[in-house]
Amino acid sequence: MESPIQKIMVYIDGTEQSITAAQYAIYLARFMRADLFACYIINTKALDDLLKASIFLKEEQLEYEHDLEEDAQRYLNHVREMADAKGVHIETKSVTGSVHQEILTTVTDEEIDLLVIGELSRIRSRRDEFYNETERAMRSVSCSVLIVKDEDRVYDLFESLV
Amino acid sequence: MALVDLITEDVVKVPLAADNKPALLREMVQVLKDAGKIDDFDTVLQAIQDREDKQSTGLEKGIAVPHGKTSAVKSLVIAVGVSNEGIDFNSLDKEPSKLFFMLIAPPDQPGPHVQALAEIAKLAKSPAFLNILIKADSAKAVVSLLRDE
| Average per-residue pLDDT for chain B | 93
Domains of chain B as residue ranges with CATH = 3-143 (3.40.930.10)
Q: Are A132 and B117 in contact (CB < 8 Å)?
A: no
Strand B12-13 with A90-97, pairing: unpaired
Q: What element of type H or E holds A3?
A: none
- A126 touching B (Cβ < 8 Å): yes
Mean pLDDT by 10 residues, chain A (162 residues): 90 92 98 96 95 94 95 97 97 96 96 94 56 81 96 96 90
Q: Are B109 and A14 in contact (CB < 8 Å)?
A: yes
- CATH number reported for the structural domain that contains residue A16 in this entry: 3.40.50.620
First to last CA, chain B: 18
Query: DSSP 3-state assignment of A60?
Result: helix
Smallest Cβ–Cβ distance between B111 and the set A13, A55, A126 belongs to: A13
Q: Residue A37 falls within a domain, yes or no? A: yes
Our count of domains for chain A comes to: 1
- A131 touching B (Cβ < 8 Å): yes
Q: Which residue has the higher pLDDT, A129 or B46?
A: B46
Q: Residue A160 falls within a domain, yes or no? A: no
Specify the pLDDT at position A91.
98
How far apart are the C-alpha atoms of B117 and B114, rounded to whole Å? 5
Cβ-based contacts of A71 with chain B (< 8 Å): 108-111
Region of residue A97 (left: phi > 0; alpha: psi -120 to 50; beta: else): left
Q: Residue A162 falls within a domain, yes or no? A: no
- A58 touching B (Cβ < 8 Å): no
Task: Provide the domain limits for residue A129.
Answer: 7-155
Tens-digit pLDDT profile for residues A70-112:
999 999 999 999 999 999 999 999 999 999 999 999 999 999 9
ipTM of the complex model: 0.88
Tell me which residue of B43, B35, B128 sits closest to B81, measured CA to CA.
Answer: B35
Q: Residue A51 falls within a domain, yes or no? A: yes
Q: Residue A161 falls within a domain, yes or no? A: no
Smallest Cβ–Cβ distance between A67 and the set B59, B110, B121 belongs to: B110
Cβ-based contacts of B51 with chain A (< 8 Å): 60
Cβ-based contacts of A134 with chain B (< 8 Å): none
Q: Are A54 and B110 in contact (CB < 8 Å)?
A: no
Cβ-based contacts of B92 with chain A (< 8 Å): 54
Q: How confident is the model at residue B106 (pLDDT cuts 50, 70, 90)?
A: very high
How far apart are the C-alpha atoms of A82 and A154, rounded to whole Å? 13
Q: Work out the burial of residue A133: count CB atoms within 10 Å of its CB; fewer than 13 is exposed, 13-18 middle, 19 or more buried.
A: buried
Angle at A98 between CA A93 and CA A103, to 5 degrees: 50
Specify the pLDDT at position A124.
53
Cis bond before residue B110 (omega within 30° of 0)? no
A:B CB pairs within 8 Å: 81
Shortest distance between the Cα of A54 and any Cα of chain B, in A, equals: 7
How far apart are the C-alpha atoms of B97 and B29, rounded to whole Å? 17
**Nearest residue on chain A to B55, judged by CA atoms?**
A57
